[in-house]
Every structure is written in structure tokens, then in C-alpha cells.
Structure 1
Amino acid sequence: MNAAGADTDTVLRKRQLTVRTTSSNGGNGFRVGGGKGAAAATPPEPVSPSARLLEDFFIVVVIGIATPVNDPVARAGIAAQFARYPRFRSIQVTDEDGGNPRWVRTTLNLDDHIIYPELDMDAVAADPDKAVEDYVASLSTKPMDESRPLWEFHVLDFPTSEAAATTAIRVHHSLGDGMSLLTLLMACTRSAADPARLPAMPPLPTRAGAIYARPRPPASAGALAFAAWLWSFVALAWHTVVDVASFFATTMFLKDPHTLFKRVKHGEFQRKRIVHRGLSLDDVKLVKNAMNCTVNDVLVGITYSALSRYYYRKSGDTDTDEDIRLRTILLVNLRPTTSLHAYVDMINSGREDEVKWGNALGFIILPFFIGMHKDPLDYVRKAKKVVDRKKSSLEVVFTHLAAEVILKLFGLKAAAAIFHRMISHTTISFSNMIGPVEQVEFCGHPVVFIAPSGYGPPEALTVNFQSYINTMMVNLAVDEAQFPDCHELLDDFSESLRQIKDAALSL
């Protein structure tokens, strides 16, 4: 589909996500101006500071399913599962006096949220994969109706090379972060092997580093072990000071150099194309075990390698003696490692109102390096070194608290400007999440793949990794004009993993 015109782009950039309301009955009720249905009697919940900063950010999850869409079954499943959660039945409202916005329950009409788009069937027949990709890209140019809960199911009921049908779920980021949506997905799906039960949960991650609790060594360990334990806190304090200073410098003047990956047209909205490619999770784990590192270290190393391959091929730069240093915004979930399991248990037992929805994110400014290495494993070694250094810092906690304090002290406009400036001074956004470990059914439809991404950050490239069974999906959201050959960049991710895996086998 064609991108929206300039007028639509202007509306998209300037839209407001709060709905003006007038109070009645002494402030005990709300009448939603322009909305549908009356607000529920549930007391309004304030919109969190982090959610208010994400007013122009959207999450898009492309899901491939193994069968054609059964519309009655899908609607019944969405009504019974997805649409019953509080945030997905609420809108943001603000009193006439301009107070802080709040979440207020409203009447939900599924016809407003389940969309069967009208497409050019000749284009679909000629290249169904491109038709899906073009339609998902068009979503980045279309604002959502803020008088309704901000989520949509776009159903593309025709076969592609990957699936019998495709669904694109668009959710406003204020409803929740990646962990919230993963919790929702896990609670709404069922095991494909046994539809009567929830899918098997991902294993609990093993965290390490000074940012997490380190038990005091026993007296029998000796003075050297005790000194090392004390030194870890000194290193933690020093690294935190350095990272906080870097954070403030980035918001004021510290910019990444201009490269192929740096956004060219600042201040102008650009249509985002969202593409994905499946990588072997077994290959990633093979490298992880051979290098004695984490899956995240391997994914960062693969990204180093892929971006380097793309850069030197496209730029023609022959100076490979020194690395080019870029920076990425790495999103980090601040919830406990057990939160996914605990929240799914709450939902399964009918206590979904107790789940902490919304955004509980901090971020790390993570160095990325563009360079050529004869040994592909050097990319992983460098990634591990950088990530380990960042684990010995409280930067992620500071950035989360700083966002809330800045918003309270200076207001939304100032906080949003600072947040936008900081992201604009870096080059890439990066994240990865672990998904279901067995095949699942979503609203009665077997899921073939899950590819989450999004749009909104003022960057030309975002990289998201999502695992599903034995596949690690790499998802790219790119500035369409700046990366017309984004599928070549996906090829670079595949080739980088192949080379790194082959090198790891030699160990």
C-alpha cells in the first residue's frame, strides 16, 4: 500500500494521546468526549511517567499462523482472553483543568479493533510476502483513534511463504512494554500439543554482575575473597558515576559520528519498514557454550558483525585499521526475573488486576563497534567485554529514575524533548526477549512465528531479537528511504551467525 501523504504525517506527529473529559456528579464520574461508552466504576489509575514519555511509540507484533483465519473463533478468543485485561479496556483521560492523565475503563467494541484491510489482490497474488510487508509499513503512517483503547488486530488472511495467514498486532507503547506484552501473550496462548494447558514457560534467566545481589563470601573463603567482594562495590560506584556522566553528556552535546546507520532527516517523520529473518537458536546456543558467555552476548556480537559487513560493503570505506564507535539504546526490563512466571500464574488464577502492567524499563547506552576482524569470534569477545562492563553499573536504575524525576520537575514537554534529544544523539535501539519454548496456539490458531518490532524512536534503525521454540527471530525497523535494501542487511545477520558458528566449532 502507498504511504500516507504529508497531511497524514503531520497529524501523526502532532496527535495527542489524552482525551479531554468533563467531570460530573462532583467528580465521581467521567463522560468521555468523543469516545464510545461510559467509563467503568473502577477508580482511575494514573498514567505512569514512563508511559507518558512514550506517547509517539508503538509496538507492532507480526504473527504467522499455520491455518486460514477462523473469524468467529478468533473473535471469541480475543474477547475471552486478550480484551479482558484492564489496560486493553481503558483509555487515557485528562480533566479540563489539565491534570495528569489517568486510565479509565470504557466500553469495548471488537469491530473497532479487529481489522480486515482491503488490499490490491493483484499485488497480493504477485508477491504475498511483499504485500504483507508493505501493509505493515503503512501502519507507521496511520494514527490511532485515541477515543478507543489503543490496540488493533490487522488480519491478512492469505498465504505467504512463511504462513497460511498473518496477523499484525499494533499496540501503543503506553499500554505496556515488551515484558507486559510477553506476559499477555503467554497467558492468552495454549500449548499446541495440549490446548487444555498453558504453554511451557521459558527457563528463568541466570543473571550475573555487580548490578545484581552478590552474597558476602563466608569467613572460610579468606581475606582475598572478601577484598574482591568489597572491590566489586567500588567498581560498581565508579562505573555508575562514569555512565551517569555519559548520560548527561549525551543529552547535551555528545553525538555519535555520522554513518550509514545514523538518521539523516531529523525532525521529519519517515515511514518505517519492518522486516524479519529467522536464525537458528541452536546455533546461537552453540556459540554461547563454546565462548562461555550469554545468549545476549552472542546476539550483540552477531549485530556487531552484521552492521560491519553492511557498512564496509555499502560505504566503500577501506580504512579497517580502527573500529568506528557507535552507541545503541539497550532497553532493560527492571522487573524481577521471576515476574513473567508470577504474572502468568496471577492471570491464570483470575487475578489479572494484580498484574503490574505498563512500562518498567530502564536503558543502557551500549557501545557498538563497526570494524573488520579476521577471527569472527572477536565480535562476540568484544560484545561480552562491553556487556560485562555495563553489568557492573547502576546506569539502568539511574536512567529509569531520571526519567521520572525530570518529568515531575520540568513537565512532559521538557522531559520528552530531553528524551528525544538523547535518542537522537545515539544511532540504534536494541533489545532481545525470550519467547515460548514450545509451539503455541493463539485464539485457536497454531502460531508459526512471532516477530515483534515497532516504530516511533527518532532513529533510522532498531534491532529486536525474539526467540520462539528453536528460532531466534531478528526484527529490523528501518527508515524506508535510508535502507531500501534492508533485506541485504538481514542477509548479513544470517551470514554473520554462520561465520561465528563455524569459528566456534573449531574451538
Structure 2
Amino acid sequence: MDHEDLSRSLPPLSPLSQYINSSTLSVPIIMVIELDSPIEKSKMIEFLRDVFVPINDRFSSIIVTDKKGVQRWKKVEITIEDHIFFPTFPSSGQTLEDYDALLDTYVSKVAMETTSEGGRRPPWEVHAFTYPTSNAKGTIVFKLSHAIGDGYSLMSALFNIYKRADDPSLPVTMPSVVPRPIGGGGSSRWSRIRSFVSMCVNTVTDSALSLLQATLLEDDKTVIRSGKVGVEFEPISISSVTFTLDQIRQVQDKVGGTTVNEVMTGVISYAIQLYIQRTGKVSNGATRMTALVVVNARMLRGFKTIADMLKAHIWGNHFSLLHVALPSTSSDQDLNNVDPLEFIIKAKDELRRKRNSMALYFTSRIWNIISSLKGPEVAAGYVHAIFKNTSISISSLIGPSQKIVIADHPINSFYYTVAGIPQSLIFTIVSYMGKLKVVVRTEREFIDAQVFVSCLKDALEKISDAADDHGKDGKVEFH
């Protein structure tokens, strides 16, 4: 087949999908599903073949590159058995804690391995850990190339194939939340003008910051950022902590008007400061630390609810990045004398200022301009540099409100993370059945994951205690 026939017959990957599926930046998504019942191998294979693969052609397609360097999807025949793995471990003399450790090691190993065998099969695989752990009677680990789609693409797929555990005939529902619109301003003419001017200023400054962060501007090396070249290839640890949405709502009710993501960004900011203090490696001066907050760009298309967005089947990668400055702590500052709620307020102000900006649009436009002028590999290097030069990333997903079933296996909990990102510390957050699971992916030999998780727990506890002294009302919202 010549180049012209190839172009006509095979759909191309989106520009963003090509950037994160390149020799410079290759990002897999890891989704871990903890089950309430032991895994039945035959049911899992049947589910993947008859339910999962038919969701979208990308699950039965490989990625090929044409003569112009454009990556395209090519549909192929697949064998399900080539995509599912059943690891074996000693089955006698092992405690649940032993299997916890084995699973953690296995998931970290799977995350760091190359997805697919040289492009000879579609870039996804499933690992069925059939041994009981402290949290599950069996665990399913999905590993998918980010080129297939972002978290909301996958959630959209699962949203349509999951069944409710209480009544399979009823639809799975999401929390009743409304996305916060970008922009704002009052109803008066002067308020609208002021809001427009503010948005223009923010757009220029935020777009310039994105350019600088990929070229000249780099965060300081700290106890959460090694700055090591090739850090994305270093061994990782994956830990998690679970909060209830009621805990988050208590903070919202007292602080007033904050979203769940604003609260969690504040909690993470505070936890970082606690971790810095506990390691004893506090800077003598102000330290530059920046978080990349992953924003679902579908929210900019007028959807009124998360469920509407999921039902629209907008596949692919539709996200952008907000550069959020994290508070710094100097050696002469005592965290015991700092009001923990300041971290929530600063996160709220910073995120809302960033949302009142068109930089979300222009950032992706800049990436595409670079790609059109110099090729997708150069654009991938630009995106890689943005991650490399910042300290952390934070992304979040909203999961179902009810308990759900996959392949007739009830799901106790699930979470996700990513690999291949050149950062020492990455946070992913997902809600499910009234709980919020925060996953901490760390550079194993650099960050003490156990200490950091304890800092996260302490951060929310201290913030909750401080919130008891405030009496403003708020409501739960997701951006």
C-alpha cells in the first residue's frame, strides 16, 4: 500500500496522542481494579473478547507510521490470550501482607515495562493477580498506551460496560456535580469588561510561562524533585491513601465555595511542606516549585454534567495543563505557626486565576504549531520539557457513585496512575462510592513513599481541625 492509500484508509492519531507516544515521551496508563470476589479466568477472557475490545476500534488496532512520520491506527486481528497475563507466585505460607508487597512490586514492574511488543499487537494488556490481598480477593491491572485515550476516554468506555452491583438493569450514575465554567464576572457591563481584561492579561502571562517552562525556566531541585536526567526510567513506587468525600465536604463547608480539586491541591501543597520539614532539608531561601494540574479540555465544550460528557464518546486525548505555583517554605518558617487553611485558600485563588485564562487553548495551539513546523518528535520534546522542568503533576477523575461489576466481579475499589512522565512525584485522584483515593507515584530511591503518605494523612487532618474554627458555607463542585 503506497503512502496516499495509507493516508486515506487509516485514521491518524491526534497531535497530542502522537506527542505522548513518541521516542521522547511514551506514557502508559495503569488502572488497578480491586475485586470483591476471586478472579475467574474464563469470565475475564470472555469479557475482554466480547465486551472490552468491541468498545472502540483502537483496542484492536496497532500504531503504524507513514512516510511523513504521521502515526496512524491500523486495525488487525487480535488474540485475546496475547493480551492477558496470569502471574504466578508461591501459594502456600504467604500472608495477605506478603501478597500486598508482591502486588505492589508487580504493578511497579508492569508500569515500567515497554507496552506491546514492537508494535506487533495493540498497545494494551491486562494482568490478573489471582491472589488475595488486604484490599481484594483478586486484582486486575490494565495497562494501556495513553495514545488510545486519556482517563476520560477510558472512563467513558467503562461507564458504558460496567453494571451496577445492586441492580444491573439500572444505569450507572456519576456524582451530581456541575463543571465550573472558565471566565466569569458579574452581570454589569463594568464587571464584564474587567473580567475580559483580566482574562487577556492572564492569557498572556500564562502562555508566556508555559513557553518559558519548556525552554529556560526550571524548578529548583528539592526533596520532591531530583531533577535527574532520565528520571522517567528510574524505578517507581505506587502508594495510595483513601479519604471520604465527607471529609472533603467538611473542609468545603467551613472554608466556603471551594471545589474538591481546589481542596485536594491545597492538601497536597501542605503535605509537601510537611514532607520537606520532616526530611530536614528545608531551603535557606525561597524555592520555586510548580505543579502541573491536568485539566479535562472537554469541559470547555459546553457539557453541563460529567455524565453528559462521558455519554458523548469524545475519544482521544483532550487535556491541557495548568501551571500552578506551590507555596515554598524557608528554614526560618515554622509550619506550626502557619494556618493550614492558607494552603486551601492559595490553591483556590491560584486555580481560579489560571482558569480565567485562554492559555488552555493556546498551549495546545503552540504544541501543534511546533509540530507542523518541526515535526511531532520536536513537539513531543517540548511537552517532555514542560514536565521535566516542573516538580509534580496532579490529575483527577470522577468515578461512579454506586458499586459496580466487571465481568461479573464486584469492584471494591479502583485507582490509576501513569508512568513515563519525567517527574519524581505524581498524584492521581479518583472518586468511587463516596470515597476519594489519592495515588502517590514516586521515584523509589529518592522519595520515601511511606513518609509522604503519612504527610498526606496529617495534612488533611490538620486542615480539617483548622476548618472547625471557620463557619462559612460551601458546596461540593468539581472543575
Normalising by structure 1, report the TM-score.
0.84
Matches within 5 A, 1:400-419: 400-419=364-383
Q: Give ranges in structure 1 of 5+ residues lacking alignment.
A: 1-22, 31-41, 218-224, 347-354
Corresponding residue number in structure 2 for 1:392: 356
Matches within 5 A, 1:264-303: 264-267=227-230, 269-292=233-256, 293-303=258-268
**Of the candidates 185, 190, 194, which is equivalent to residue 231 of structure 1?**
194
Corresponding residue number in structure 2 for 1:50: 16
CA distance in 2, matches of 1:390, 1:494: 27
Corresponding residue number in structure 2 for 1:34: none
Corresponding residue number in structure 1 for 2:180: 207
Name the SS of the counterpart of 2:254 in structure 1. Answer: helix
CA drift at 1:277: 1.5
Distance 1:478 1:318, change over 3 A: closer
Corresponding residue number in structure 1 for 2:473: none
CA distance in 1, matches of 2:366, 2:98: 47
Is 1:312 the counterpart of 2:283? The answer is: no
Name the SS of the counterpart of 1:464 in structure 2. Answer: strand
**Which has the higher mean CA deviation after the structures are superposed, 294-303 or 404-413?**
404-413
CA distance in 2, matches of 1:178, 1:48: 16
Is 1:177 the counterpart of 2:142? The answer is: no
CA drift at 1:248: 1.6
CA distance in 1, matches of 2:351, 2:314: 28
Matches within 5 A, 1:59-458: 59-84=29-54, 85-95=56-66, 97-121=67-91, 125=95, 127-144=98-115, 145=117, 146-210=119-183, 217=187, 225-267=188-230, 269-292=233-256, 293-317=258-282, 324-335=287-298, 336=301, 337-338=303-304, 340-342=306-308, 344-345=310-311, 355-371=313-329, 372=335, 374-458=338-422
Corresponding residue number in structure 1 for 2:474: none
What amino acid sits opposite 2:193 in the alignment? L
Name the SS of the counterpart of 1:171 in structure 2. Answer: strand
> Is the CA contact 2:293–2:323 (under 8 Å) kept in the aligned structure 1?
yes
Distance 1:338 1:153, change over 3 A: farther
Name the SS of the counterpart of 2:452 in structure 1. Answer: helix
Distance 1:113 1:307, change over 3 A: same
> Is the CA contact 2:112–2:420 (under 8 Å) kept in the aligned structure 1?
no
Name the SS of the counterpart of 2:326 in structure 1. Answer: strand
CA distance in 2, matches of 1:49, 1:208: 25
What amino acid sits opposite 1:46 in the alignment? P
Corresponding residue number in structure 1 for 2:476: none
Deviation sequence 1:15-65 (CA, Å, 0-9, x none): xxxxxxxx27x97589xxxxxxxxxxx942111110011011011011100
CA distance in 1, matches of 2:283, 2:442: 25
Distance 1:343 1:424, change over 3 A: closer
CA distance in 2, matches of 1:277, 1:323: 29
Distance 1:104 1:494, change over 3 A: same
> Is the CA contact 1:189–1:198 (under 8 Å) kept in the aligned structure 2?
no
What amino acid sits opposite 1:295 in the alignment? V
CA distance in 2, matches of 1:151, 1:339: 29
Distance 1:315 1:475, change over 3 A: same
CA drift at 1:325: 3.6
> Is the CA contact 2:155–2:310 (under 8 Å) kept in the aligned structure 1?
no
> Is the CA contact 1:57–1:456 (under 8 Å) kept in the aligned structure 2?
yes
What amino acid sits opposite 1:315 in the alignment? G
CA distance in 2, matches of 1:414, 1:317: 36
CA distance in 2, matches of 1:304, 1:497: 11
CA drift at 1:227: 0.4
Corresponding residue number in structure 1 for 2:456: 493
Distance 1:410 1:120, change over 3 A: farther
Name the SS of the counterpart of 2:371 in structure 1. Answer: helix
What amino acid sits opposite 2:108 in the alignment? A
> Is the CA contact 1:183–1:340 (under 8 Å) kept in the aligned structure 2?
no
CA distance in 2, matches of 1:473, 1:457: 20
> Is the CA contact 1:407–1:414 (under 8 Å) kept in the aligned structure 2?
yes
CA drift at 1:376: 1.7
Instruction: Give the number of equivalent residue pairs.
Output: 451
CA distance in 2, matches of 1:151, 1:129: 24
CA distance in 1, matches of 2:111, 2:260: 30
Q: What is the alpha-carbon root mean square deviation over aligned residues?
A: 2.2
Corresponding residue number in structure 2 for 1:349: none
Distance 1:152 1:236, change over 3 A: same
> Is the CA contact 2:176–2:305 (under 8 Å) kept in the aligned structure 1?
no
What amino acid sits opposite 2:416 in the alignment? P
CA distance in 1, matches of 2:180, 2:295: 13
Is 1:466 the counterpart of 2:430? The answer is: yes
CA drift at 1:168: 1.1
What amino acid sits opposite 1:153 in the alignment? V
What amino acid sits opposite 2:338 in the alignment? K
> Is the CA contact 1:300–1:380 (under 8 Å) kept in the aligned structure 2?
yes
Name the SS of the counterpart of 1:296 in structure 2. Answer: helix
Higher relative contact order structure (alpha carbons within 8 Å, sequence separation ≥ 6): 2
> Is the CA contact 1:305–1:370 (under 8 Å) kept in the aligned structure 2?
no
CA distance in 1, matches of 2:357, 2:322: 10
Corresponding residue number in structure 2 for 1:8: none
CA distance in 1, matches of 2:345, 2:454: 22
CA drift at 1:343: 5.9
What amino acid sits opposite 2:273 in the alignment? S
CA distance in 2, matches of 1:137, 1:377: 34
Deviation sequence 1:264-311 (CA, Å, 0-9, x none): 421352122222111121101111122111111100111011111111
Deviation sequence 1:411-439 (CA, Å, 0-9, x none): 12221222222221111111112111111
> Is the CA contact 2:426–2:441 (under 8 Å) kept in the aligned structure 1?
yes
Distance 1:121 1:49, change over 3 A: same
Normalising by structure 2, report the TM-score.
0.89
Name the SS of the counterpart of 1:127 in structure 2. Answer: helix
Distance 1:267 1:342, change over 3 A: same
CA distance in 1, matches of 2:423, 2:80: 33
Name the SS of the counterpart of 1:45 in structure 2. Answer: coil
CA distance in 2, matches of 1:340, 1:93: 33
